[in-house]
């Protein structure tokens, strides 16, 4: 059982493996400059690395803060119809811990100030953990859907 939200995707493309790796490499930059220009002509879709063997580690290239952004790890393999891209998207464990700790701490403080029964303090803290986890999971699922669409667009684009 995983603590951090984790999603597996399989994308099938009718292009050869080398063309898929090349198109993925064209849309990936090694790292973002210190002061990025969102209107730049050489802006890529992803930041990360793509190896010639067909493995990759990516994060979508955005110019704003987003804690829900998943890390994408995957592999490109040959299939009967063309190419299969298997990827997994995983959230950041430190961010989910922060999202769970803040409502739990708030529930603990509020019930400690208002009630004398320790049972309600623990119930409010656990409820806060659950609320924080749900908020993070919802945000992660929205972002992984956007990332999957961006990755699919890059892979199906014919060069």
Q: Output the pLDDT for position 44.
A: 84
Instruction: With respect to residue 150, please indicate whether it lies within any of the assigned structural domains.
Output: yes
**Whether the predicted pLDDT of 119 surpasses 80:** no
DSSP reduced 3-state for 55: strand
List the domain range (segments joined by +) for residue 45: 6-94+131-156
pLDDT band at 36 (very low <50, low <70, confident <90, very high): low
Instruction: With respect to residue 147, please indicate whether it lies within any of the assigned structural domains.
Output: yes
Instruction: With respect to residue 83, please indicate whether it lies within any of the assigned structural domains.
Output: yes
Instruction: With respect to residue 111, please indicate whether it lies within any of the assigned structural domains.
Output: no
Residues 6+ apart with CB under 8 A from 52: 21
Percentage above 70 pLDDT, the chain: 92
**End-to-end CA distance of the chain, in Å?**
40
pTM score of the predicted model: 0.81
Distance of alpha carbon 94 from alpha carbon 87, whole angstroms: 22
Instruction: With respect to residue 105, please indicate whether it lies within any of the assigned structural domains.
Output: no
Instruction: With respect to residue 65, please indicate whether it lies within any of the assigned structural domains.
Output: yes
Instruction: With respect to residue 78, please indicate whether it lies within any of the assigned structural domains.
Output: yes
Q: Output the pLDDT for position 2.
A: 65
Query: Number of structural domains, the chain?
Result: 1
**Whether the predicted pLDDT of 1 surpasses 50:** no
Distance of alpha carbon 113 from alpha carbon 124, whole angstroms: 12
Give the CATH number, domain containing residue 64: 3.30.530
Q: What is the 3-state secondary structure (H, E, C) of 88-137?
A: EEECCHHHHHHHHHHHHHHHHHHHHHHCCCHHHHHHHHHHHHHHHHHHHH
Instruction: With respect to residue 87, please indicate whether it lies within any of the assigned structural domains.
Output: yes
Model confidence over 86-106: pLDDT tens digits?
A: 999 998 888 888 888 888 888
């Amino acid at each position: 059982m995983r603590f951090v939200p984790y999603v597996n995707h399989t994308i099938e493309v009718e292009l050869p493996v080398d063309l898929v790796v090349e198109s993925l490499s064209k849309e990936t930059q090694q790292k973002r400059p210190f002061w990025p220009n969102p209107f730049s002509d050489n802006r890529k879709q992803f930041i990360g690395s793509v190896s010639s063997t067909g493995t990759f580690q990516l994060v979508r290239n955005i110019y704003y803060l987003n804690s829900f952004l998943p890390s994408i790890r995957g592999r490109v393999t040959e299939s009967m119809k063309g190419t299969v891209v298997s990827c997994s998207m995983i959230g950041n464990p430190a961010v989910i811990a922060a999202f769970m700790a803040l409502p739990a701490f708030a529930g603990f403080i509020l019930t400690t100030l208002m009630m004398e029964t320790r049972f309600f303090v623990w119930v409010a803290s656990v409820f806060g953990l659950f609320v924080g986890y749900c908020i993070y999971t919802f945000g992660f699922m929205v972002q992984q859907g956007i990332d999957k669409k961006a990755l699919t667009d890059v892979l199906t684009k014919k060069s």
